[in-house]
Amino acid sequence: MKHLGRKILGAAVVVIVAFLYYYITLPAINIHSSNFWIFIFAAVAVIAVVYAVKKRLGRNELKESKVIKGLGGLLLLLILVYVIGTLLSSPIVNAKKYQKLLKVEDGKFTEDIEELTFDQIPILDKESAEILGNRKMGSMSDMVSQFEVDSLYSQINYKEKPVRVTPLKYANPIKWFTNRKEGIPAYIMIDMTTQTTELVKMSEGMKYSTSEYFNRNIYRHLRFRYPTYIFDDLSFEIDDDGVPYWIAPVKKFNIGLFGGETIGRVVLCNAITGETVDYAIEDVPQWIDRAYSADLLVELYNYHGTLKHGFFNSILGQKDCLKTTEGYNFLAIDDDVWVYTGVTSITSDQSNVGFVLMNQRTMETKYYPVEGATETSAMSSAEGQVQDLKYKATFPLLLNVSGEPTYFIALKDDAGLVKKYAMVNVSKYQVVAIDDTISACEEQYHDMLAKNGIGTENGQNTADELEISGTVTKIAQSVIEGNSHYYIMLENSQEIFDVSVAENIDIIRYDVGSQIKLKYKQGTKTNTVTEILKE
């Protein structure tokens, strides 16, 4: 009986240790998961230790024990399989397969990227969004003592607007214990064009989050639902009705045991109820913006650009090798979020040979062969214009301005607040426009393009001013960046004209039915009025 009891006790110890390790580390039960192999290594090692302790084996007895020898041999065999599997999955022996993981098409800049009006340009990076989010949270006296703002700040398209969303989280274990029954009551949403920050309160709290401690922790909840899935980084999004979801991409390994990582499936988890839906990547709903992380897409493009002539060429000769530049940003195109980054030669980072756009939902990738300054050069050029103020440039956003690839850069002070805006021509980064508002910066940039003969079409500069007159049929007012604007329409025209009150104060004299004559610069969705002319 004693012998049987010791066996049961030993088995129980192994099971308990294995369960605790699994519960804490949450490895996928999948041979493609490195964490699963580590779990197996640890399990074999624990079994060996428990057996040695139970048998009270000394040093000499350990060397002679057949069980210990067998477990040691098994452990060495598993490590050998893991090392060989890692090697056979690597680009060293699979360069062609890695190079073909990402399909890259040539794009047409002016067709693929439409011109944005200044009230559509997202001006906030994640760092600035965090400042606004923390300020908003600090003003909520009923919540600030119990919750903090999570640092996720996912960029998504919400009702055709670029926004950043992030959930709240429990401030500490005590606050979790006292609030877990009701859950997390709100999330923060920040409009990236207007900087409007909203704390969205829900009728029912989120029960599943990263700040839960046990089974409602989102990672543990997903692991127990899908024990074999290898999840990529989670993101937080809201659907068209404002319902919060966790987006969990599932990794797919296309080369050997551990290589050729892409995304094969996506699991959606309702943050309130914990309900999950599992989609194949091609069936993911349109409202989801992030299935592929930016880092994964950049890695895939670097494989495509560097492995054209094999692995060793990418290290030694480096013929025809291209890589992405340091950093990336995001563009909202047709209700999808695309990762933007420059492309440069691997042997030189002084200039870009083009840039690439990669869809975070579909992995669709387009390359644009536009030579010009790197993003860091453009940032330095913008900072040089305000060096006396010591403002720091954010990573550029790529815009289409009068058909010209243009870096849009926000300039921030030491507190992280946006103070000025810059537009830098990609091909000629000496052309730099800087002003306090986006509209003024855009107007200055148009003037600089005209003076430098950039952006001409059939001898006619695309930034040339036009005139129109007619009867006002519609008029609406809006406030953008703290400045009042009037949007008007004229009889016998479908065009919308944007009039800045600060620059054209006479607009307040006009109403529906008034006769008006305007000088304007043509845009894609609205035309910017530069002057109200006298009849």
Question: What is the rounded (10 degree) CA torsion for 64, 67, 73, 77?
Answer: 180
What is residue 509's DSSP assignment?
G
Measured distance CA(515)–CA(149) in Å, rounded: 51
Which one-letter amino acid corresponds to residue 120?
Q
Measured distance CA(464)–CA(454) in Å, rounded: 12
What is residue 308's DSSP assignment?
T
Q: Where are the beta strands (DSSP E) in 289-417?
A: 322-324, 329-333, 336-345, 351-352, 354-359, 365-368, 372-373, 392-393, 397-401, 404-412
Could you identify the residue written with the tokens 């439409």?
A: 114
Q: How far is residue 508 from each of residues 93, 475, 489, 530, measured CA to CA in Å?
A: 70, 11, 15, 15
Whole-number pLDDT of residue 459 = 37
Which one-letter amino acid corresponds to residue 25?
T
Whole-number pLDDT of residue 259 = 94
pLDDT band at 524 (very low <50, low <70, confident <90, very high): low
Whole-number pLDDT of residue 432 = 93
The stretch 226-243 carries a mean pLDDT of 95
Angle, CA 329 vertex, CA 384 and CA 162 arms, to 5° = 115
The stretch 348-363 carries a mean pLDDT of 88
Rg of the chain in Å (alpha carbons): 29
Whether 522 has a pLDDT exceeding 80, the answer reads no
Predicted confidence (pLDDT) per residue in 358-397, tens digit:
999 999 999 998 888 889 989 999 999 998 899 999 999 8
Predicted confidence (pLDDT) per residue in 324-339, tens digit:
998 899 988 888 999 9
Give the tokens for residue 39: 């779990």
Measured distance CA(149)–CA(520) in Å, rounded: 44
Cα dihedral sign for 516, 522, 527, 532? Answer: negative
Residue 15 CB coordination number (10 Å): 10
- State how beta strands 497-500 and 527-533 pair: parallel
The stretch 60-65 carries a mean pLDDT of 75
Whole-number pLDDT of residue 332 = 85
Whole-number pLDDT of residue 101 = 96
User: Any idea which of 141-145, 243-247, 443-447, 507-511 has the lowest mean pLDDT?
Assistant: 141-145
Whole-number pLDDT of residue 64 = 75
Whether 481 has a pLDDT exceeding 80, the answer reads no
Higher pLDDT, 120 or 294: 294
- State how beta strands 329-333 and 336-345 pair: antiparallel
Measured distance CA(165)–CA(158) in Å, rounded: 10
Question: What is the rounded (10 degree) CA torsion for 155, 159, 160, 162?
Answer: -20
Whether 457 has a pLDDT exceeding 60, the answer reads no
pLDDT band at 12 (very low <50, low <70, confident <90, very high): confident
Residue 385: which H helix or E strand, with range?
A: helix 375-385
Measured distance CA(339)–CA(323) in Å, rounded: 15
Residue 469 CB coordination number (10 Å): 11
Which one-letter amino acid corresponds to residue 299?
E
Whole-number pLDDT of residue 320 = 87
Whole-number pLDDT of residue 147 = 94
> Does residue 133 contact residue 150 with C-beta atoms inside 8 Å?
no
In what side-by-side order are the strands of the sheet with 235-238? 235-238, 244-255, 259-270, 276-280
Whole-number pLDDT of residue 203 = 92
Percent of the chain whose predicted confidence (pLDDT) is above 70: 94
Whether 6 has a pLDDT exceeding 80, the answer reads no
Give the tokens for residue 230: 């290898």
Residue 241: which H helix or E strand, with range?
A: none
The stretch 202-211 carries a mean pLDDT of 95
Cα dihedral sign for 202, 206, 207, 212? Answer: negative
Percent of the chain whose predicted confidence (pLDDT) is above 90: 57
Whole-number pLDDT of residue 84 = 94
Enumerate residues 6+ apart whose C-beta is below 8 A from 507: 486, 488, 499, 501, 532
Whole-number pLDDT of residue 2 = 59
Which one-letter amino acid corresponds to residue 397?
L
Cα distance between the two ends of the chain: 109
Whether 45 has a pLDDT exceeding 70, the answer reads yes
pLDDT band at 349 (very low <50, low <70, confident <90, very high): low
Measured distance CA(468)–CA(489) in Å, rounded: 11
User: Any idea which of 42-46, 90-94, 104-108, 119-123 has the lowest mean pLDDT?
Assistant: 119-123
Please choose, from the candidates 473, 468, 456, the residue with its C-alpha nearest in 3D space to the C-alpha of residue 512: 473
pLDDT band at 462 (very low <50, low <70, confident <90, very high): very low
> Does residue 112 contact residue 334 with C-beta atoms inside 8 Å?
no
What is residue 15's DSSP assignment?
H
Could you identify the residue written with the tokens 């387009």?
A: 366
Average predicted confidence (pLDDT) for the chain: 89
